[in-house]
Amino acid sequence: MSNMSKQSYLMEEMSWPEVETALEEVEAAIIPVGSHEQHGPHLAESCDSDRAEKFARLLAERLYPRVLVTPTVNFGVSYHHMKFPGTITLSPETFISLLFDIARSLHQHGLERIIIFNAHGGNDAPIDVAIEKIRQAFPVRLTAFKHSDFIEDFIDSKVESETYGHACEYEVSEMLYLAPEKVKKDKLTPGEVLDFAGEYLKSPARIGADFAELTANGALGDATLASRELGEEIITEALDEVVKYIEKFINI
**Which residues here bind Zn ion, judged by CB under 5 A?**
47-48
Q: Are the CB atoms for 219 and 42 separated by under 8 Å?
A: yes
Question: What is d(CA 168, CA 42) in angstroms, rounded to the nearest whole number?
Answer: 9
Shortest reach from residue 49's CB to Zn ion, in Å: 9
Provide the pairing of β-strand 28-33 with 67-69. parallel
Shortest reach from residue 232's CB to Zn ion, in Å: 18
The residue (of 103 and 230) whose beta carbon lies closer to Zn ion is: 230
The residue (of 51 and 113) whose beta carbon lies closer to Zn ion is: 51
Amino acid 54 reads: K
The residue (of 48 and 222) whose beta carbon lies closer to Zn ion is: 48
The residue (of 137 and 209) whose beta carbon lies closer to Zn ion is: 209
Residue with the closest Cβ to Zn ion? 48
The residue (of 47 and 188) whose beta carbon lies closer to Zn ion is: 47
Kindly write down the DSSP assignment for every residue of 89-105, as one continuous string. B--HHHHHHHHHHHHHH
Shortest reach from residue 146's CB to Zn ion, in Å: 10
The vertex-150 CA angle with 111 and 132, nearest 5°, equals: 45
Question: What is d(CA 242, CA 25) in angstroms, rounded to the nearest whole number?
Answer: 20
Q: Are the CB atoms for 68 and 9 separated by under 8 Å?
A: yes
The residue (of 33 and 63) whose beta carbon lies closer to Zn ion is: 33
Shortest reach from residue 121's CB to Zn ion, in Å: 8
Helical H runs in the chain? Answer: 16-22, 47-63, 92-108, 124-137, 152-158, 169-178, 196-202, 228-249
Question: What is d(CA 219, CA 41) in angstroms, rounded to the nearest whole number?
Answer: 8
Question: What is d(CA 52, CA 113) in angstroms, rounded to the nearest whole number?
Answer: 18
Give CA 241 to chain center in angstroms.
15
Shortest reach from residue 39's CB to Zn ion, in Å: 6
Shortest reach from residue 37's CB to Zn ion, in Å: 7
The residue (of 48 and 53) whose beta carbon lies closer to Zn ion is: 48
Shortest reach from residue 180's CB to Zn ion, in Å: 16
